[in-house]
Amino acid sequence: MSDLLAYAEVRKLAATLGIEPTELDGFDELGATRLRELRDAIKNRWFERYRGAFDKIIALAKFVPTPIAAKLAEHAFGPFLSAQAAALLPPKQVADIAVKAPPSFLAATPRHLDPPRITPILDHIPLAVLRATTREVLDRGDHIGLAQFADHVPPELIQSIVDVIDSDEHLLATGQYIESDQTLNRLIRLLTDDRVRSAVDTALGTSRESRLQGIGLLSRLDDANLARVEREILLADPAALAAVAHDVLDAGVQSALLHVATKLEPATAVHLIGSVTDEQLNELARRITEAETVAALLDLADKVDVPTMRRLAALDEFPSVRQIAERSGLGDRLDAITA
């Protein structure tokens, strides 16, 4: 996959459709923006298609006591219809019903919610209920549902979500699906330095999936959060960083590694590239197909020390790098680092 954001969006679309991501192979070529638009269009279409059923639920909710409405939502209508109908009921009434429903039922609804329509409801739901529901969502492994929820909660509730996400694996998996960079950075700013250190260690050493999640998150950090993470990268075992490069190449998101490296301070970039083997760098060069990636390579060469620059300059030997640079008006910059 050429884009880690598209990688995440394919999984969100699969969750919306109730299918496995493997059934959407090739969809990442649409790009993150078009995939997000497709997912929103599907949700809006479903909302309109089942509007008649929602109207019946709303009419019924007006005449039955709240405890009974909660039971009907759980046992008769189910998570999908209940989540969609909630957007059409008064926020206070939905909150009253949610308080009476068990967290296990509420935890099944996030991926069916339309967050912008649901946000007003959150102001009326007790914090204890939100925390219990978040815990249930994590226990289900529904990181996509939690991320959609986190994207639209008021800023003052973000701390509550952070407090409940008690494992680094959950933190990384949820973070990759948060759409708003602002929300993501707000969440990370609430982490202690020890938690940041632990999350970086987990991202580097746990699994291929966690390493890809870590690269994806790193590319979206603001300067303040990036500085906190860089301190840990500088201390990282070169073998762990080499494993990141291997997984990035294996997943076909090699451009992500270069774009992340260009955001780092020179010393950190040198440490990262120094951990990448010549074979891995050569493989990266073979796969370059976009001018944007060549530009990132040149930006990186401009900021590193001479030995590292020479390693990057050697990639000029690959015809694709030179051809793309010439076609894109980057030939002079490439000549400058290879002279």
Is residue 182 included in any domain, yes or no? no
Q: Number of structural domains, the chain? A: 1
| CATH number of the domain residue 258 falls in | 1.10.220
**In terms of Cα–Cα distance, which of 304, 322, 247, 242 is closest to 276?**
242
* Residue 156 resides in a domain: no
In angstroms, the CA 211 to CA 202 distance is 8
Q: Is residue 29 part of a domain?
A: no
pLDDT grade for 275, boundaries at 50, 70 and 90 = confident
Q: Is 73 exposed, middle or buried (0-12, 13-18, 19+ CB in 10 A)?
A: buried
Would residue 218 count as lying in a domain? no
Position 326: which residue type?
E
Residue 254 domain-assigned (yes or no): yes
Helices and strands (DSSP H and E) totals, the chain = 24, 0
Predicted local distance difference test score (pLDDT) of residue 145:
86
pLDDT category of residue 1 using cuts at 50, 70 and 90: very low
Q: Tell me whether residue 164 is in a domain.
A: no
Q: Is residue 322 part of a domain?
A: yes
Query: Left (φ > 0), alpha (ψ -120 to 50) or beta: where does 252 sit?
Result: left
Asked whether residue 174 is assigned to any structural domain, the reply reads no
Domain extent for 335 = 237-339
Q: List, for residues 30-75, the tens digit of each pLDDT value.
A: 888 899 999 988 888 887 777 777 777 778 777 889 899 889 888 8
First to last CA, the chain: 33
The number of residues in the chain equals: 339
Res. 197: pLDDT tops 90: yes
